């Protein structure tokens, strides 16, 4: 199957561990992507350091001259200008912690995908690991889904699943799920680069296997 180098832009807010995985696999030639830019809404996020260390085009949209946090509308305006200039094939939200407006999502010039630490549609929102434990779930994991105006509600593309252990805590579950995340995001992008997942024609790309693609990575 033909493989196309996927141009991606990454939006970050935190430590950037998933960004680092993508950088490492791109530089090692294991993942057919080109990270054409990284945008952070937090000036001192370690993800910014990771991006700069890798020599990636990096933009921080965090504060205005008077020191106040940049409003979401201003952030979205500048981000749209950058994405219009960069023309990525897909935008990846990797630990990006601001809620984007429906207007922004509609104007982004390519599909956007987000990583969420639960098996969607279950446990949308925050504190997923503690909520999974409180509910006594037998399984947990993470999902990559298409970003839509409704929070964590877009088409789920891929999932990685693990078994919840009787001695798990919210912290241990978070650590275990993060290991899955580091495998699931590259896997999803590889499917996209090979045309197995076509976000512009999801029905055609799901002809042979019903979405989401599920991986048992315990």
Task: List CB contacts of 163: < 8 A, sequence separation 6 or more.
Answer: 138, 139, 218
As a whole number of angstroms, the distance between CA 189 and CA 33 comes to 8
The angle formed by the CA atoms of residues 38, 40 and 70, to the nearest 5 degrees, is 140
**Quick one: 125 exposed, middle or buried, by C-beta within 10 A (0-12, 13-18, 19+)?**
exposed
Closest by CA position to 199, among listed 88, 101, 104? 88
Closest by CA position to 173, among listed 209, 138, 121? 138
Q: Are 145 and 124 in contact (CB under 8 A)?
A: no
**Active site residues per annotation:** 116
As a whole number of angstroms, the distance between CA 213 and CA 191 comes to 10
As a whole number of angstroms, the distance between CA 15 and CA 37 comes to 17
């Amino acid at each position: 199957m033909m493989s196309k180098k996927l141009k991606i832009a990454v939006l970050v807010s935190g430590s950037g561990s998933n960004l680092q995985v993508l950088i490492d696999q791109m530089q090692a030639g294991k993942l057919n992507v080109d990270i054409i830019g990284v945008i952070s809404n937090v000036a001192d996020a370690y993800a910014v350091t990771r991006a700069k260390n890798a020599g990636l085009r990096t933009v921080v949209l965090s504060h205005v001259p008077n020191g106040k946090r940049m409003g979401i509308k201003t952030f979205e305006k500048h981000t749209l200008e950058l994405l219009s200039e960069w023309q990525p094939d897909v935008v990846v939200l990797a630990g990006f912690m601001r809620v984007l407006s429906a207007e922004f999502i509609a104007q982004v010039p390519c599909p956007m995908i987000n990583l969420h630490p639960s098996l969607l549609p279950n446990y949308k929102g925050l504190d997923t690991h503690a909520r999974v434990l409180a509910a006594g779930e037998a399984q947990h994991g993470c999902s990559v889904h298409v970003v839509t105006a409704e929070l964590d509600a877009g088409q789920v593309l891929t999932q990685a699943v693990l078994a919840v252990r009787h001695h798990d805590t919210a912290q241990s579950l978070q650590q275990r799920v993060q290991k899955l995340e580091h495998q699931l995001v590259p896997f999803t992008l590889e499917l996209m680069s090979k045309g197995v997942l076509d976000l512009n024609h999801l029905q055609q790309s799901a002809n042979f296997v019903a979405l989401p693609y599920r991986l048992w990575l315990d």
